[in-house]
Amino acid sequence: MSKLRIGNFSISIDGFGAGPNQSLDNPLGVGGHALHEWAFRTDTFQKMLGKGEGTKGPDNDFAMRGFTNIGAWILGRNMFGPIRGLWPDKNWKGWWGNNPPYHTPVFVLTHHPRESITMDGGTTFHFVTDGIFSALERATDVANGLDVGLGGGVATIQQYLRARLIDELHIAISPVILGSGERLFSGINMVELGYRCAEHMATENATHIVFKKVM
């Protein structure tokens, strides 16, 4: 049975999953890039970016797990790009160039319809206007028994957490203080929602915590 999983979602020591003022120059918000330094160094991400080999070890193991057994993805619109409101044209196709790293169908949550976009490498972006449940149903259907990955951002993760739809959540706490931005667990009671810490490990670059739904 397919699970809804989050892998490699980085937050700061003070709990922010993105910095403020997302823009073309700051896709992850001001200061947000530093949250993911642990991941960018790993062999998994270096090869994904076409830059050769990276670091091995526990950080890489977690990074690799985040992409293993995933048959479809769900993204919030903020993860897809900085554009708000109506789509002004068809030019914006994501942050990742012609060959995004997903290589599966990707369902983007939005309030504004848009035709699907087929990219190189097997990624097709579909735009879902009827909510998180519809996106999960569609993603599960095309995953063919594999799991569905939830990429974020913060508001999208919060919606799925509050609905108790996430089965597993891997958080990497980076040794960074942002001071402002979007707090991942703001207004979220993980205990009441039935989540428990199932795994934790600290490395030189991040503290990895895996939550699983047990209720």
Per-residue pLDDT at 39: 95
Cβ-based neighbours of 152, under 8 Å, separated by 6 or more: 6, 9, 17, 75, 76, 78, 79
175 pLDDT above the threshold of 90: yes
Per-residue pLDDT at 107: 98
215 pLDDT above the threshold of 90: no
The mean pLDDT value for 200-205 works out to: 97
Judge: domain 4-19+27-82+99-213, CATH 3.30.70.1400. no
Per-residue pLDDT at 19: 93
Q: Confidence band (pLDDT; 50, 70, 90) for 27? A: confident
Query: Would you call 124 exposed, middle or buried from its count of C-beta atoms within 10 A (0-12, 13-18, 19+)?
Result: middle
pLDDT one-digit tens code per residue, 81-135: 988 899 999 999 999 999 999 999 999 999 999 999 999 999 999 999 999 999 9
Helices 132-143 & 154-162 angle (0-180, nearest 10)? 90
- Domain positions in the chain are 4-19+27-82+99-213
The mean pLDDT value for 22-47 works out to: 91
d(CA 103, CA 105): 7
d(CA 176, CA 178): 6
79 pLDDT above the threshold of 90: yes
Stated pTM of the model: 0.95
Mean pLDDT of the chain, nearest integer: 95
Q: What are phi and psi of 211, to 5 degrees?
A: -100, 140
122, 45 Cβ separation under 8 angstroms: no
